[in-house]
Amino acid sequence: MDSTKVKQLDRQSYDVVIIGAGPSGAVAGAMLVNQGLSVLILEKQFFPRFSIGESLLPQCMRFLQEAGLESVLHQYAKQCGFQFKNGAAFHKKGINSAFNFTEKFTEGPGTTYQVKRDVFDKLLADEVQKKGVEIRYGHQVNQVEQLQPSVCLTVEDQKQESYQVEGRFLLDGSGFGRVLPKLLNLEQASDFPVRHSFFTHFADKIDCPEFDRDKILITVNPNFDDVWYWLIPFSDGTASIGVVGLPERFEEYARLSNDEILQQFIRQDANLNRLLSRAEPLQPTRAIKGYSADVTSLHGENFALLGNAGEFLDPVFSSGVTIAMKSASLAVPLVIKQLVGQKVDWQKEYAEPLKFGVNTFRSFVEAWYDGSFQDIVYHDMHDEAVSRMISSILAGYAWDKNNPFVEKSQRRIAVLAEVCRD
């Protein structure tokens, strides 16, 4: 680094520096500043900005509450078009099924919202700023100069001038930017295959009385069980719709535009086609190709990875934001412990507890794609107790060891799928 090009700003030293002002960075920032620490968030974009990940799970509300961010969400929900959400509905070849999150095994909130992330992320970030966190928008972290005795980062501001900033601890909440995994060579291939996703927002104009706007609708493609769609309604008459599948499922449409590809797939499902018959797209269809990611380690000397900067599985159960906020909630007390001079075993106290719940979601995602969880979902389940246990996981309570579908998820799903098939 050419030090002559490094501009000095007034205040360059913080207790904690966070990369990214998405849900993980915002929740961590709020929790830290609430404990009296000085916190700087470096965010390369300007908010509001588009982001995917719009269906929250009720477990998120716990973390927002912990961070002192829940009331602002309720306060502005209506104004921001956030849709009250109380469950997940499923459709496959004419068969409907639904889980109501208020009827679940684990104690805790049973409802939440579906949110446009540009508005949601800005709402949280503004609130975090009001609490005293400094957020620098248009500031991109480009380099880690050192990690000990304190962390030193090289940052480029919106005028493309570089400067250095110091923190006693660094949290990477850079999401798909994956700043530390790339800079520190922590990237590791995910167990999940590459999948493509095409999505947009519609003025949905759904007038079907049976359609429940309070639930995300997950639809399985009638031709391929491993292709599925989300339909996430908002409260202002708009909705997010997307399709997910292996690259080969989209091959024959390669010459079409993203808009046409999404339309083609919507047309393939009679129910979605009917629901969206009057829908009008509000923006060009976006595509993400290959989103699953993993790392060799979630922590190191004076740093930890939050949310998507660590591991990202798959969007099918809308677990991303919940895992992002859970990671912040687990990391913050440990950062504080370390900064007051106590020893922290980041593997035992952070990585393992976080991965415990991530692995629960992993079992469910794997079972979705191998078909066994679909056999459960589309079976007319009469066992209320089992239904409540599954509802808990779908509501995000993947860390509740009392739930038998958490502790031995793989085996339980396999056995239940057998029973459903019989």
The stretch among 8-16, 42-50, 68-76, 403-411 that binds ligand FAD (CB under 6 A) is 42-50
Give the span between the Cα atoms of 251 and 304, in whole angstroms.
39
Tokens of 337: 């412990």
Q: Which helix (H) or strand (E) holds 61?
A: helix 59-66
Kindly tell me which of 55 and 403 has the beta carbon lying closer to ligand FAD. Answer: 55
**CA 361 vs CA 66, 295, 297, 311, 399: distances in Å:** 22, 17, 19, 12, 10
315 binds ligand FAD (CB under 6 A): yes
Residues 66-125 that bind ligand FAD (CB under 6 A): none
DSSP secondary structure letters along 130-168 = HTT-EEEET-EEEEEEE-SSSEEEEEE-TTS-EEEEEEE
Q: What is the DSSP string of 339-371?
A: HTT----HIIIIIHHHHHHHHHHHHHHHHHHHS
Determine, following the binding rule CB under 6 A, whether residue 308 of this chain makes contact with ligand FAD.
Answer: yes
Q: Which helix (H) or strand (E) holds 34?
A: helix 23-34
206 versus 321: smaller Cβ distance to ligand FAD: 321
22 contacts ligand FAD (rule: CB under 6 A): yes
Out of 29, 31, 43, 400, the residue judged to bind ligand FAD by CB under 6 A? 43
In terms of CB distance, is 85 or 92 closer to ligand FAD? 85
Q: Does 52 bind ligand FAD (CB under 6 A)?
A: yes
Q: Say whether residue 233 binds ligand FAD (CB under 6 A).
A: no
Separation between Cα atoms, residue 378 and residue 372, nearest integer Å: 10
Contact pick of 179, 276, 336, 365 for ligand FAD (by CB under 6 A): 179
Using CB under 6 A, pick the residue from 19, 32, 124, 336 that binds ligand FAD: 19
Stretch that binds ligand FAD, among 88-96, 314-322, 332-340, 345-353 (CB under 6 A): 314-322
Nearest alpha-carbon partner for 19 in 32, 7, 28, 10: 28
Residue showing tokens 């068969």: 95
Asked whether position 174 contacts ligand FAD by CB under 6 A, the answer is yes
Outline where 243-400 has alpha helix (H): 247-250, 258-268, 270-275, 307-310, 320-339, 346, 352-370, 372-377, 384-394
- Binding residue for ligand FAD, selected from 113, 120, 229, 291, defined by CB under 6 A: 291
140 to 169, contacts with ligand FAD by CB under 6 A? 140-141
Q: Please tell me whether residue 173 binds ligand FAD under the rule CB under 6 A.
A: yes
Residues that bind ligand FAD (CB under 6 A): 19-25, 42-45, 51-56, 140-141, 173-177, 179, 197, 242, 288, 291, 306-309, 312, 315, 318, 320-322, 324
